[in-house]
């Protein structure tokens, strides 16, 4: 992924803040297309589980959760540039995400959702 990654210094965006945000390598257009193709393949695999005959719920969860997390991470990392941008953006977003997962996992547990 990093072999022919372009360096976008973004001419015209010359304020200090933007220079700090953007002096990083971003994917090229071709790499964006490859990333989208990977996402499409994972989505096809997800939809494929719908056609399984009487699947066990545990098997479905074991198959679908990793695919969901990979898709989420790829979109956030590459399309949203979290992989390349200032780490503070990643921290802010991950904080909200982890807080949401923690709060609602506790809420679901307290309401005996898992049983």
3 versus 14: smaller Cβ distance to other proteins? 14
Is-contact 43 71, C-beta < 8 A? yes
Residue 105 CA: distances (Å) to CA of 1, 15, 69, 96? 34, 42, 16, 14
Residues near other proteins (CB under 8 A) are 8, 10-13, 15-22, 26-29, 32-33, 35-36, 39-40, 43, 46-47, 49-50, 57, 60-61, 64-65, 67-68, 71-72, 75-76, 78-81, 86, 88-89, 92-93, 95-97, 99-101, 103-104, 107-108, 111, 113
């Amino acid at each position: 992924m990093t072999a022919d990654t372009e360096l976008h210094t973004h001419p015209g965006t010359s304020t200090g803040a933007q220079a700090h945000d953007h002096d990083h390598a971003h994917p090229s257009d071709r790499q964006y297309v490859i990333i989208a193709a990977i996402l499409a393949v994972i989505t096809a695999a997800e939809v494929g589980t719908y056609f399984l005959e009487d699947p066990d719920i545990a098997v479905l969860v074991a198959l679908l959760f990793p695919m969901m997390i990979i898709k989420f991470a790829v979109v956030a990392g590459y399309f949203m540039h979290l992989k390349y941008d200032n780490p503070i953006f990643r921290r802010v977003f991950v904080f909200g995400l982890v807080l949401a997962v923690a709060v609602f996992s506790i809420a679901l547990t307290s309401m005996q959702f898992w049983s």
